[in-house]
Structure 1
Amino acid sequence: MRRLDSKRTEPLHGTAATRSLERATAAELPPHALMARAGLSIASLTRALAPHARRIWVACGPGNNGGDGLVAATWLHQHSQASGLGLSITTTLVGDLQRLPKDAAHAWKRAQAAGLSLSKAPPDTFDFAIDALLGIGATRPMEGELSEQWDRLVHATAPVLSVDVPSGLKADTGALLDPSSKSQVPAGPRFTLSLLTLKPGLFTAQGRDFAGEVWFDDLAAPMAAMVPPDAWLQGQPGPDFEPALKHATHKGKHGEVLVLGGQSMETDGIGMSGAAILAARAALHAGAGRVYLSLIQATAPSLTWDPVCPELMLRSTSAALSGDLVERSTVVCGCGGGRAVADFLPALLERAPMLVLDADALNAIADNQALQQLLEQRRHRAWTTVVTPHPLEAARLLAATTETVMTDRLASAQSISERWGVICVLKGSGSVISAPGVAPLINASGNGSLATAGTGDVLAGMIGAALASPGKQATALRCVAAAVFQHGHIADHWIKNQGRRHLSASQLATGRSD
């Protein structure tokens, strides 16, 4: 058993793969042995997380998840008796005892033999709770007593340990079974012990809020490595990703980034120059050798240099599109581009081998069939295209609704990648990074401090710099994933070092967390 952190890249398995592995593992073991291992693991983690807890509530549901909870309650009960600690173990079970699955029914018989009894209602107060109401097989919103106990757990200020997945959370997607519950956030410390496999839903959508700190026990199932993962939890890039800097080098060998966007006030009274400036600053601080900034301005340029980052080289849009700058740079387009950015997209789509499309560039493509055709043609040239939509922009690209996108973030990102032949970064809690024909990645870093204006522009610039660097021996997908991780990693260290919740995009763009 181990606690997960953001340093490791981990395979993730959905419900179907987990069920398959569960059947194969159980077939190699004596009857009920797999549930016995799970229950012991839950009990052991409970004692480790809450060594001083004296009143423990074990909330069991009508399936095998509840059976795991019964085994854990039995272990805790026996430990209390053997040690003389006098723990109060309140065990509830929602459902008909006569209809329990075989393994859960066996767990109940063992619990009875150990002297464990069921309570008709949860305790009035408790120091620690085990959520074993529903597991990965749940498909319908909870009702009646099940819903009441779930609500009690969600609003509990005491620590809660969920078995396999938090009850009511879809293991494959991170969406809640009852969409009306998505506004709720657990009140107290939360932990989840994922058993046998790690589930994708723990790390994206509502998963991270409800799962809390995730632990993993593979239950000594050696066949796990034989089951192809449905996704990957993308951790910190290894030391091989960033090669040592050579002494005999110059800025031209560290890649070039061109940022085109930032519509000025003169265009239609809406000024968004700051978005493009943030992207350019982020690309510079992320290591690009040269960064060119081309602002969309209706009249003579009002900004000729950046006093914060004078290293940025400003170009008019006509100068940026002349010569071979578009061909030799990684182009980042769309940040604060407004409606005016659509005029520049045909040239960029037709000329830029490395192209990052964000924000208004995506909106323009979603509304224009001709631009969509140009985007599709890029895949036949083996050019790299990265799109970085938030859920609403993703919905526009898919001609769907935001709710549909959020119902299955992994499938939505993969649909965009397959439809357009692009690398897609679907932003949000547990950003999803997908590419055609490969299992998607879920970013392991980041937190709610990134929910401020401009942080997406910073991400686009960081991705541009990662793609532009010629020294990394990595695929474009790996470069993009590394940039997404670093973006969240800065925010994680900001919270750790500063102890503050607010992180501005300007601070994020510096690449520093101190």
Structure 2
Amino acid sequence: MRPLLPTISTLPLFDVAASRRIEARALRHSPDLMARAGLAIAKLALVLRRGDGPIWIICGPGNNGGDGRIAARRLAQHGVAVHMSHEGPSSPSLVIDALLGLGLNRAPAAHMQATMAAMQACAAPILAVDLPSGLLGDTGQPAGERAMRADHTLTLLTLKPGLFTGEGRAHCGRIWFDDLDVAPDETPTVDLLGRAPRPHRSVTGHKGSHGQVLVVGGAPGMQGAAQLAARAALACGAGRVYLDLLGRPAGDPADQGRAELMRGTCEEVPQAVGVIGCGAGSAIAAALPSLLQLPRVVIDADALNAIAVDQVLQSLVRSRRPGTTLLTPHPLEAARMLGRTTADVQADRLRAAQELAARLNCCVVLKGSGSVIASAGQRPAICASGGPALATAGSGDVLSGWLGGLWAQQPTSDAHGVACAGVDAHGRAGEANGVLRAGDLIERLAAQR
């Protein structure tokens, strides 16, 4: 058993259907599996309890409840007072939520909702078994009006996607994992990203060997977005970074605060990685047919909105060579491109990202808590790094520029690999207290090793 985050290496995630199959086979081959699960819960409960009051354990009818009952016996054998009822004791030292777990496939019944409300109102810390009750394991969304908000979640046997995306992180608290000494015997559904190395820089390298990035955007009044993206690409290590600031005279400096940045256009640097759309406004629509001739492109913000309403632009995106197009929408932008509501996208973030990737033959980074990386024909990934400090103006522009800078240095990499590495680095740099300004985020990214 170990705390899971931050991740070091990439880990496999299994959806509910796969987790059930793995569990069923493991139970057939290991009759003591539930005993091991109950012991793991009891051990963690002893560490997490606060005070000397009884541990309140709420057990449901399925395997999740069975694990909770075994944990109760183990705790009692250890001399700990245990209260097993849907009505809580006074001053419990810990609440163990073993009510629903993986077995949930619809909104909890009214009597279960009442029990969940009582657990949530209790002043003691809450340990959820496998999943907080009411949370869907595939999507990270509540099945009904309520899902438990645990302080800790001990997930058993397999890791589930819903722990890490949607509302999962907000409901799970600190996530612990025990594989119960069972190696999953099928292909993962999703990858959970681990730390990726920065691009190798040869001792004989020079600026010409680290690629070029062209940032196109920055319409009047929004030039800061494009400049942030360009600064991020520069900090990442791209050899040359150019800015095409829409509506600004070509003779003006690219960025008075960064003399290293140059002005340029796609005609002047036709082999650059394009970072297109940051603060671009409506003018980007007319420029997109030419920009989509660049060999590799990262498309964000206003460029996404232009593509969403133009069938010709969508066709141009679809016709690009696979692995050369990377889209970075937030949920509203993804919803526009799919012709849905933001709520529909958030209800199943994995499905939405995969559908958009298949529709446009590209790699999609669906931003948000538990950003999803999806590409046609590849296993999707979820990024568990990051936090609320990234919810600030310009952080998405920084991500787009950083992705462009990574790609410039790795010309043989496809969009999916670049997206996984860049999104995780961006998230780790954003793990800070309070609010992180976008300019400071660039410096934190540059300082990572």
Alignment pair present for 1:235 and 2:175: no
Look up the SS of the partner of 1:328 in the other structure.
Answer: coil
Alignment pair present for 1:443 and 2:388: no
Look up the SS of the partner of 2:392 in the other structure.
Answer: coil
Give the residue type in structure 1 aligned to 2:318.
E
Alignment pair present for 1:89 and 2:45: no
Aligned residues: 446
Q: How does 1:305-454 map to 2 (within 5 A)?
A: 305-315=254-264, 320-323=265-268, 325=269, 327-349=270-292, 351-378=293-320, 381-382=321-322, 384-454=324-394
Whether the 8 Å contact between 1:53 and 1:128 is mirrored in structure 2 is no
Alignment pair present for 1:489 and 2:428: yes
What CA deviation, in whole Å up to 9, does each residue of 1:120-150 have, x standing for no partner?
x112322211111111121222233311221
Structure 1 vs Structure 2: percent identity of aligned residues? 45
Based on CA coordinates, which of the two structures has the bigger radius of gyration?
1
Shift of residue 301, structure 1, vs aligned partner: 5.3
> Which residues of structure 1 form unaligned runs of 5+?
81-86, 94-120, 265-270
Whether the 8 Å contact between 2:165 and 2:370 is mirrored in structure 1 is yes
Provide the residue aligned with 1:282 in structure 2: 232
Give the residue type in structure 2 aligned to 1:73.
A
Residue from 200, 203, 207 that aligns with 1:247 = 203
Whether the 8 Å contact between 2:323 and 2:363 is mirrored in structure 1 is no
Q: How does 1:291-310 map to 2 (within 5 A)?
A: 291-297=241-247, 300=249, 303-310=252-259
- In 2, distance between residues paired with 1:249 and 1:48? 51
Provide the residue aligned with 1:171 in structure 2: 137
Alignment pair present for 1:461 and 2:401: yes
- In 2, distance between residues paired with 1:191 and 1:10? 20
Shift of the 347–155 alpha-carbon distance from structure 1 to 2, 3 Å rule, reads farther
Shift of residue 67, structure 1, vs aligned partner: 1.6
Provide the residue aligned with 2:215 in structure 1: 259
Alignment pair present for 1:122 and 2:83: no
> Which residues of structure 2 form unaligned runs of 5+?
none
Give the TM-score, by structure 1 length: 0.83
- In 1, distance between residues paired with 2:211 and 2:121? 51
Shift of residue 310, structure 1, vs aligned partner: 1.4
Shift of residue 211, structure 1, vs aligned partner: 1.0
Provide the residue aligned with 1:140 in structure 2: 106
Look up the SS of the partner of 2:436 in the other structure.
Answer: coil
Whether the 8 Å contact between 1:253 and 1:470 is mirrored in structure 2 is no
Moved over 4 A (4+): none
What CA deviation, in whole Å up to 9, does each residue of 1:428-485 have, x standing for no partner?
00000111112110012100110111111110001111111038x7543222211101
Give the residue type in structure 1 aligned to 2:22.
L
Provide the residue aligned with 2:15 in structure 1: 14
Whether the 8 Å contact between 1:166 and 1:192 is mirrored in structure 2 is yes
- In 1, distance between residues paired with 2:164 and 2:323? 30
Whether the 8 Å contact between 2:332 and 2:341 is mirrored in structure 1 is yes
Whether the 8 Å contact between 1:130 and 1:161 is mirrored in structure 2 is yes
Q: Tell me whether 411-420 or 52-61 shows the greater mean CA deviation.
A: 52-61
Residue from 384, 405, 419 that aligns with 1:480 = 419
Provide the residue aligned with 1:67 in structure 2: 66
Whether the 8 Å contact between 2:393 and 2:437 is mirrored in structure 1 is yes
Shift of residue 382, structure 1, vs aligned partner: 4.0
Give the TM-score, by structure 2 length: 0.94
Shift of residue 338, structure 1, vs aligned partner: 1.1
Shift of the 206–383 alpha-carbon distance from structure 1 to 2, 3 Å rule, reads closer
Look up the SS of the partner of 1:136 in the other structure.
Answer: helix
Alignment pair present for 1:37 and 2:36: yes
Give the residue type in structure 2 aligned to 1:3.
P
Q: How does 1:503-514 map to 2 (within 5 A)?
A: 503-510=436-443, 511=445
